[in-house]
Structure 1
C-alpha cells in the first residue's frame, strides 16, 4: 500500500506539471480526480490496517458503504477499493479511532481478569480457637480501589457500548468484594472481642446467661462460615457466593444485640462504682472477668485511685493471700495499714467500694491522730510517725492554727507575736534542711522535701503580713490563702479560701512532690478556681502549652485530697 501511495503521489505530481492548457480538458479533470480519490482510498486502507480493527468494525464499514464481501485471508485490495473509501474518509477515521479506544478497554479488562483470577485471601489463626481469620491485606484493598476507579472511568467513556455488559458485571463483582470484605472485618473484629468475654470469661457468662447462650449460636455460625470460606481461596469467587452478604449481615445484627446487652451490663457496673466511668471498656471488662480474684484486679488499681497501686492481703495458714485487705501501697512503695481489715470478697464493684471507704477512713483516722499528737514531740520526730500525705496536711492545719493564735495575741496587745512565730518557722525550716543534708531513706527524703516546699510558702506569707503590718485575721492577704483547719466536733479537715469552704476528700495521695506555690498559682489559679467551684461553676485556665495549667489544677486537687482526672479532649472524643 505504501508503494502504491508513493506511485500515486508521483502521478499527481506529473499531472500537476502538465501544460496549463490541458487542464481544461475533461480527460485531465477525470484523471486528476481519479488519482486524488485513489490517494484518499489508499490512506483509508492504511488506517484500516490498524491491529485494533475487529470483525465488528468491518461489518460497520460495509453497512456504511453498502458494499458487502467476506473479510478473510483471500480479501484483495480490489475488494477494499470497491467500498469507495474516498467518499467515507471521516467515517473510516471514526471507526479506526473507536477501534483503538475499544482495544484499550479490552486491554484493561484483560488485565483485570488476570489480576483477580490469581488474587487470594490470606488467613491467620485466632489465638484461642484457631479459627481462620481474614488477614488485613493492604495491597488487595489498594488494587480493589484502583480497579473500581478504572471501571468507573470506562463507564463514562462514549465507546463503552460493546463492553457495557462485561464492565457492569465486573463493577457488580468488585462492589460485592468491597462490601463483603468490609462487613467481614467488622463481624470478625466484633466476634473476636466478644468471644473472649462470652466464651472466655466464666464470671461474665454467669452474670449474662441469656446473652452468652445467644453468642454461642453466633459463634457456631461464624466458625462454620469461616471454615467454609477458607475452602475457596479466590477473592472474587469467595465473596460473590450467593447469600454470603446476607449471612454476614445477620451475624452482625445478632452481634450488635450482644454488644448492646454488654454495654448495658457495663453501665450497670459503672453506676455501682462510678470510677469505672473513667477507664476504658477493655480495662473494665478485664476487671469484671477477674472480679472475684482481687490479685488479678490489682494491676488496674492505679487507674481507679490516685495513688493506690496495690493492696496487702492477709495470708492464710499456707501463706497464700486471702481476700482480706490489710493495707495499701502507693506507687512509691509507701505502705499504710487500713484502720480496719477490708473485705475484698464478692462482686468486684462491691469490694472496690469497700476499698474506697477503707482508704478514706484510714487517711481520716491517721489525720485525727496526727493532729492530736502534733504538740507531744518535736515536729522533726513527729513527721516520721505518719504517712507523707497526713504529715503534710497536719503541718498545714497547724500552720493555720498557729497563725490564728498569733493574730489573737496581737489583738491582745502583744505586738511581736507574729514576728516570734516567723522566727519559729525559720527554725523549723532550718531543722528540716539540716535533716535533708543527712542520711535519709528515699521515701523520707521526699516527704521532708514536700513539707519544705509548703513551709517556704507559709514562711513567705507570714513575712509578707509582717511587712504589711497586718494585725487582723480578717485581712484579705490572710483570707486569700488556702487554709486547712481541723474541726474537732465533726472530726473532719476543711480547706478555706476567701469565702469558700471545702471538705477534705481523703483520697490517698501517696508520697508525691508538690508544686512550689508562686503568686500566680496563689492568686490566678487557687482563688479563681476555688471561687468557681464554690459557685458550682467550672474554671478554664488559659495560656501557652507547658506553663503548668494542668499541673496547678492537679496540685489544687492534691491540696483538697481529691482525685483529679485528666482528659485529652480531642475532636474525636464524644460525650460518651
Structure 2
C-alpha cells in the first residue's frame, strides 16, 4: 500500500539524517573543519557546527571557572580564523551546492562569533548567564543518540526532517528576541503570532526557527476565500505529520471563519497539552504528532484586514516585530557573498538607501526596503565572482547603479547619480555590456520595423537584466513611451536567440480574479484551475 510505503520513506529519511549526524559529530575533531564540511550534507554539517559551537563555549566556560581567564578570548580568536578560512573559500571556485553550504555556515558562524564577542565584552564568566541561556543551543546527547535544541528553559528534540541545502537568515538581536517568544509559546503549548509591518521578517523568522529545529514549515497565504473547512483540513494534516504551519496575513480571513478556526486550534492545543496519541478533530479520530506548531503572522492596519476575535487571541502569544538592523544584515550577506571589506561597504549601501528614501520623489514603485537590498546583494555577489580582480567598491557601486537606474524616474536620476558620486567618490565604472546580446537586440528592433536607438536598446537590455533576478517585472511609464514595444523587442530577441519565449496577452479588466487564479467550489470542495 502506498501510504505504508510512504511512511517507511519518512522514517528512513529521519533515520538517515540522524545517522549522518551521529557520524559527523564524532568525526568533527579528526580533521580540519574546512575539509570536514565537504564530507557531509549541508544540513548535517550546519547542525553539527552548531552542536560543536555550544560544546566549545561550554568548555571555555569550564576553563574560565578553573581560573584560566583568557579561555573565551582564545576561542574567539579560533572562531575568527575559522570564519576567515570560509570567506577565502568563497572567493575560490566552488560548485553551486558547496557555495550555498559554505555561505549558510558563514552566516551562522558570524552570529556565533558575535555572541562570544558580546560575552567577552560583558565579562560573562559562567554558563548560567542569560545572554548565553537565551541563545538557541544545539547539543548532542550520547546516551540517547539524539540532538536537542535548548533555549531559556525550553527544550526541543531535533526533528531530523531532511530540509536540503537551504539558505539561513542573518540572526539579528530582533531574531533572537522573536526566537525566545516563539519557543516559549511552544513550550507552554500555545501558538505564536508575530505581528508588524511588511519586510520585518515575520514569516522568514518562523521558517528559520523551523529549519534550526529540523522541522518542515509550510507557509499558507491566507485570503478571503479560505473557509473553515479548508483551514480544518490544513490543521488535520499538520497534526498528523507534526509539521509547522505558518498562516501568513491571517487577519485577511473573514471574522465568522476565524471564530470556528479558534475552536479547531484549541482542540489541537488541548490534545498536545494532554499528551494524547490520537484525538477527535471535526468528528474524526486522527493521530497526533506532538511537534506540531501553528503560527500566524499579521500586518496591522492594512486595508481589508479584520481584528481577531477574543477567543482566538487567547490561544496565540503575540510577538511584535520592528524594522531590523539593515546594516548588520547587509554586512553579513556581503561577507557570505565573499566581500572582504564588508563593514565599510554595508555602511555606504545603507546610507545610500536611507538618502534615496528621503531625497527622491515618492513614487509608487520605489522600494528601498529589505527585499530590494537583498536582490542588489545577490547581483553584487555574481558580479564579484564574474570579475574577481576588480576592487570591491567598484563592484558594489556598479550593481547599485545598474540595478536601480532602470526604475528611477527621469527627474530623480541626477539626484541618484549625485548620491552615488558622493558615496563612491572618483569612481566611474563602465556598465557591464554584453555586445553580442546587444547586436541581437538591434536586429530584433529592426525586424519589428522600429528605430534601434541607443536609449531604446538600453531599455531592452535593462529589462533582460531585471528578469534574471526578479520573478516578475512591471514596466511603467506614460502612454506612448514604448512600454509594449520594449517587451515585444525582448520577446523577438529571445526568438532570434532560439530561447522559445511564450507571450500571452491578458486584459485584467476582462478576467475576474477567480477565473485567473482558480477557485474552490464550496459545495463539492473541488478545485477549478485558473487560466
**TM-score, with structure 2 as normaliser:** 0.43
- Hey, which of these two has a bigger chunk of helix by percent? 1
Of the two structures, which has the highest relative contact order with CA contacts closer than 8 Å and spacing of 6 or more? Answer: 2
Larger radius of gyration: 1
